[in-house]
Amino acid sequence: NNPILFSVSNLGKTTNKVDQLDGLVVDTINILESYAVVITREDINNYDSAKRIWVSDDGLNFQEAHFHTQASNISYYSTLKEIDGRIFATLCTQKRGFFEKDGYENYVSDSTGFIFTRAAPLIPKREGWPEFTTIDSLKGTIIQKFETDKSLFQKREIYTKISLDNGKSWSNLRIK
């Protein structure tokens, strides 16, 4: 009994069924500035089952996002943000054992929003909260902060990276 996704326009007067997602388990819907992003999962009874990401630039026609081969087993996403017409995504791409934490990877889309490539590996192999921030007065500047979870054996740490070219290259942001 899977839900059906509809696109609505004209203040609800017109509804259109989203056929590309028919029969899939819709996990999350994200409305960004220029895109609608839908996360589906393979198993309705297992939240941790593999995820697929679908992108639309009109809210009706969705295409499955294409990722670098290492993102073929997405177990969940952590951050989706649109910056200058491109989607930045932080994804957990593997599930590990009980004492090992998930591995996060950063991806950025091309200008179509459908093709993603891996950004510089920014995140340690620990659970935590990634966050992207832009600075309006500094065009092309993106800051990513990752704050790790505090655990029994590890203290909380904060990692910060900066890009001055819209995410093409990254370097450590050092604060003294």
pLDDT tens-digit profile of 29-60?
889 999 999 988 888 887 777 788 899 998 88
More confident residue, 50 or 13: 13
What mean pLDDT comes out for the span 93-108?
Answer: 61
pLDDT tens, residue by residue, 115-152: 988 776 555 555 666 777 888 898 888 888 777 766 66
Terminal Cα distance for the chain, rounded: 55
Residue 19 pLDDT greater than 70, yes or no = yes
Strands, E assignment, the chain: 6-9, 14-17, 25-31, 36-41, 51-56, 63-64, 76-83, 86-94, 103-109, 116-118, 128-134, 142-148, 158-163, 171-172
